[in-house]
Amino acid sequence: MKTFDCRRALLNRDVVNKLSLCAALVGAITACATNAKAGGIGASTAVLFDNSGSTIDIKPFIGSTFSGLSQKLTSGGIDSLYGLITFRSNYINGANVPENIVSTFSGGSLFGTGSDFQAAANKVINTGGSVDGVQAIEHALTRAGYVSQFQTGNARYVMLVTDTYREITLSSLSSDGLSSLLASNNTKLSALVNASFYAADGSRLAAIFKDKSGAIVGYRTDGSSTIVPYGRTVVSVLPSNSSLTRLTQTNFEEVQKFYVNVALNSGGVVGDVTLLGQGGTLETALANALTAALIQTVVGPLVPEITKRALDQSQTTAMR
């Protein structure tokens, strides 16, 4: 059976010229969704969750966030699978010893559906300890077996979810070394980190990524599907009752260097982890921003008119 080429259909200007934009989009997305498992557009994401004590406030929302993301990506024509690693370190004999717990799904697979992922995430118990996201990424790509189980043809991601800086357990891997490790495994880093992002006009952003020109852009926390130019990243100002880590400027600069910059340069998406569990408009905006940005990074840059309509459909579906 001949597989529908989603990317080509969306980029094909002849299709746009012959059909209305709406009809072209609906036809392309329907065919993408129908044929995703038969060789269409897909994404495999290994989620790396910081299991330190400070993430206790956001832990209940990890499963539902990625299960919901799976549903939204499916509505945009992208078939997605998820793996889960929790990471922390134990302090043993004067040294931090990494502990990475890998979840397995049906048949021993490291990847499952969004609902499989939610079931596994709901069983996670915060155990506390120091954490190093770089060590967790290195473990996922070199030791845990994810690379061998990434689905052929799928976009590959590791998604780091952390509220803190590197409490270093893998000092040998620099930010350049991390970028090289991702590139050699054809994998993009995305991340939810403890940082606040703002547009050039001063409005707050839920998530940021690089567009086809290499410029950093993002989606606002008002839930709008309009892409806006990025302005700056600053230390998050947390509510007094938040369990999340309060970063110093030095800690924050490390988050920028190893997580934000590496993720953006790899072609991934970076979101504000403090929006998890906020409820209402802010949490919806984060889910919509991740969906829309991931659609762009998986499918690739689309012609502008179709991009907007594709993202608008994703937002509409996400808010139903």
Say if residue 106 is in the same domain as residue 164: yes
The tally of domains found in the chain comes to 2
Say if residue 11 is in the same domain as residue 64: no
Say if residue 187 is in the same domain as residue 280: yes
Report the CATH number at residue 111.
Answer: 3.40.50.410
Say if residue 293 is in the same domain as residue 243: yes
Spatial distance between the Cα atoms of 167 and 142, rounded to a whole number of angstroms? 20
The answer to whether 316 and 256 have CB atoms below 8 angstroms apart is: no
The answer to whether 129 and 86 have CB atoms below 8 angstroms apart is: no
Say if residue 7 is in the same domain as residue 86: no
Say if residue 9 is in the same domain as residue 57: no
Say if residue 256 is in the same domain as residue 148: yes
Say if residue 127 is in the same domain as residue 87: yes
The pTM is what? Answer: 0.80
The answer to whether 230 and 205 have CB atoms below 8 angstroms apart is: yes
Spatial distance between the Cα atoms of 191 and 133, rounded to a whole number of angstroms? 10
Say if residue 130 is in the same domain as residue 216: yes
Token pair listed for 129: 């300890």
Q: Could you list the pLDDT tens digit for every one of the 320 residues in the chain?
A: 344 344 444 344 333 333 232 332 233 333 333 333 334 578 899 999 999 989 988 998 999 989 988 888 888 778 899 999 999 987 666 666 788 889 999 888 999 999 999 999 999 988 888 899 999 999 999 988 898 888 777 889 999 999 999 988 888 999 999 999 999 999 999 999 999 999 999 999 999 999 889 999 999 998 788 899 999 999 888 877 788 899 999 999 999 999 999 999 999 999 999 998 787 788 888 888 888 888 877 765 443 443 444 445 545 444 44
The range of the structural domain enclosing residue 267 comes to 41-319
Say if residue 93 is in the same domain as residue 73: yes
272: which residues sit within 8 A by CB, 6+ positions away?
A: 192, 193, 195, 196, 197, 205, 206, 207, 221, 236, 286
